[in-house]
Amino acid sequence: MQVLVTGGAGFLGRRLAARLLERGFLAGADGRQQPIERLVLLDVVAADGFADPRVQVIAGDITDPAVLAQAIGAETMAIFHLAAIVSGQAEADFDLGMRINLDGPRRLLDRCRAVGHRPRVVFTSSVAVYGGDLPAEVQDDTAVRPQSSYGAQKAIGELLLTDYSRKGFVDGRVLRLPTISVRPGRPNKAASSFASGIIREPLNGEAAVCPVPPATRLWLLSPRKAIEALIAGHDLSAEQLGDSRTINLPGVSVSAADMVAALARVAGEAAARVRWEEDAAITRIVGSWPGAWNTSRAEALGLSGDQDFDAIVRAYVEDDLGA
């Protein structure tokens, strides 16, 4: 089996690649586990650090048909589409967001249609597809009303994948990811970047700013659980998914204040390095996202989230702190 990971040089892409190589197999079209013979990592920059002979690295633009022709062939039976422009950047640069977040998946799906081999495609979506006047707990049938360009682009991508699946061009599944926390490294341009920064920076001995009010609620998932969900979501059969190709992934509903309190329980005085300075633009975007959603369907399909935010902080300490 050949597997493609778009965004393969990114944070989640690299972790997913490492886990796939360690695992060594994925479900094929017939549901039986098949060995991963080649893992293609596509990104705008070359993914490095992989010495495994099964890995092929491609650096190129996801919207370039020649690049997609190189990345997707008849042997490509599994695709994890992670490549995207993050929320804050997509809001600031409308054209870039539309090109990568909308034209990218459309051209990827068209390439699959042209090859005619009906691969399994995992499309990562987001809490940002929701917005407006939301219930305390979003349900599977809650209307999608994105309040940002990023959310709109993800919502359109969901519909595209569902229709290409209906037509039999791909066997797709949409996994709506909660905000991922705690991400290692440095802050990025995502509106939700602070959800990692207010934990990561204090643990590294640095000051951090929380740009949203303390009562702002977020729906969060650790990198560990996100990778588990991507692989488990891929291995679900079309029969298990039924008519609905979209799954709201389990997560933890927690306020910004509760996040800092969890940091204090796990790491004591580190929490004192967080200060509160509201940013109206970030508050508007993040405040439009759901703080919790019903995940009974995901759980019935065998997907799970973290126990609580304390566990998420501990996972970062164990997996990434000082790496």
Residue type at position 83: A
Contact residues for 32 (Cβ-Cβ < 8 A; gap 6+): none
CA distance to 122, 148, 167, 227, 257, per residue, from 234 (Å)? 6, 28, 19, 11, 35
The beta strand positions in the chain, using DSSP E, are 2-6, 25-27, 33-35, 38-43, 55-59, 76-81, 120-126, 171-177, 179-180, 208-210, 217-221, 246-248, 252-255, 274-276
Q: Which of 130, 150, 164, 316 is catalytic?
A: 150
Nearest-angstrom CA–CA distance, 306 and 295:
13
Residue 211: how many CB atoms within 10 A of its CB?
Answer: 20
In the numeric block, the tokens 């990971």 are attached to: 5
150 is known as an active-site residue: yes
DSSP helix/strand/coil, 97: helix
Find the farthest-apart pair of alpha carbons in the chain and give their distance in angstroms, rounded.
57
Catalytic residues: 150
